[in-house]
Amino acid sequence: MPEGRLISAFSRCTPDAQASRWDNLWKSGEQDLWDRGQASPALREYLQSDNCLIKAVGEHCGRRRKALVPACGTGYDVMFLAKLGFDTVGLEVSAQAVDTARGYAASVSGVEGRTKDINWGKVDFVQGDFFSQDWESNVLSGTMGFDFVYDYTFLCALLPESRKAWADRMAELVKPGRYLVCLEFPLWKENQAEGPPFGLQGVYWNLLAEGGDGKVEREHMEDDSLTGSGQFTRVQRLKPSISFPQGKGTDMISVWKKK
């Protein structure tokens, strides 16, 4: 990301003002600050690998599996998951982002629909605030949560004060026994440096496994065999062979099972 511009757009921002700052960036057409024009290569690699735990999730539950991509931006990852057969919700706080995502979805479905017989999952782009429950009942229609949530560049986009709320909300949205997958980024950046994106060394572990507030200075001991008081158990952490160049070779995929 051209970081200087993004950092200045959030100067003296408070947690309550974050959503409107993101919306302003969408309205002024500045998504070049984060938009990478394609689904995450690391997610694609993981979901197509033999190691992937998500493939088998809910296979025999007699309905399509339900995925959520919060803060989905243009929706590249949403369309990729739908193409794999997940009923997928892309959530965005910005109405402008939702319009952009719907336009992108129409262009992808048109091309793919003409050229291939793909068993698409349903795609739903929803305008709503991740931290509020307003949007949920419409998209969950009776199911008690999502089988799979994917986070990429959402946690790093939030002020550190909002991290605990992010983890608590993830725990509400992922069904027990189902998965949250995080593409951990940016791990090359000091946690004390200005953001967004905010450095996240050791932050996912602290929030999800230890039940902390995510305000850690750096990575410390992470031991999957210890049971922490967090609401998730980490079941995999892998270094993808490919990711966006902005990760500077440090991105990790981590897979978290809701307790």
Q: Which residues bind ligand SAM (CB under 6 A)?
A: 18-19, 22, 26, 34-35, 70-74, 91-94, 97, 129-131, 152-154, 157
Smallest distance, Å, CB 226 to ligand SAM?
Answer: 31
Q: Give the C-alpha separation, 218 to 36, whole Å.
A: 27
Q: Of 16 and 59, which CB lies nearer to ligand SAM in the complex structure?
A: 16
Q: At closest approach, how far in Å is the CB of 76 from ligand SAM?
A: 7
3-state secondary structure of 4: helix
Cβ burial of 111 (10 Å; 0-12, 13-18, 19+) is: exposed
Supply the Cα-derived Rg of the chain in whole angstroms: 17
Asked if residues 206 and 179 have their Cβ atoms less than 8 Å apart, the reply is no
Nearer to ligand SAM, 9 or 58 (CB): 9
In this complex, which beta carbon is closest to ligand SAM, that of residue 27 or of residue 259? Answer: 27
Min dist. Cβ of residue 117 to ligand SAM (A)? 29
User: What minimum distance in Å lies between the beta carbon of 33 and ligand SAM?
Assistant: 7
**Token pair for 135:** 């949007």
Nearer to ligand SAM, 3 or 222 (CB): 3
Contact 85, 57 (CB under 8 A): no
